[in-house]
Amino acid sequence: MEVFEDIAIFFQSPLFKLIVQLIGLFMLIIWVAMVAWTYRDANSRGASPIYWAVVVLLFNVFGLVIYMILRPAEHAVDVRERELEIKAKEAMVHGSSLVCPECHRPVDDNFLICPYCMKKLKNPCPSCEEPLKPSWPVCPYCKATV
């Protein structure tokens, strides 16, 4: 019976109470970290970060599991980058290596303006009317100074 008395004394000791409090503090820190991670991850994926942070705050690990199952598969930056890459490849397939910087539709090399959004793409040469990039100081076709 002395063993049970020693165990009971240990459970009533300040050391045991300190261990329980440290474990509780550790669990609280993990819980707050899960909420913060969920908020940042949902924000980077284009989901509603406040909504998912509240779900994890209320349901703890179960909320995190639900978020992990339902979260968007890709980050918003990756989705945007893939869409731009697809548009560039579509422009190459359509025979144009250029796309309008405004509407991202394919345009020919000799277009002065975009036919879709009317964005000015190039300047005409004052002599020969060939399309020139705005940064060119001289026309490469007729040697005229712009």
Task: Compute mean pLDDT per 10 residues along the chain, 146 residues long, and list them.
Answer: 85 94 97 97 94 96 96 90 85 70 83 89 87 85 83
Same domain, 61 and 11: yes
Same domain, 66 and 8: yes
- Asked if residue 65 lies in contact with residue 56, where contact means CB atoms within 8 angstroms, the answer is no
Residue 84: inside a domain: yes
Rounded to an integer, what distance in angstroms lies between the CA atom of residue 123 and that of residue 17?
79
Structure pTM? 0.56
Domain enclosing residue 17, as ranges: 2-70
Q: For residue 67, what pLDDT is reported?
A: 96
Rounded to an integer, what distance in angstroms lies between the CA atom of residue 110 and that of residue 100?
12
User: In whole angstroms, how far apart are CA 25 and each of 31, 39, 123?
Assistant: 10, 21, 67
Same domain, 26 and 51: yes
State how many domains the chain has: 2
Same domain, 10 and 43: yes
Same domain, 61 and 120: no
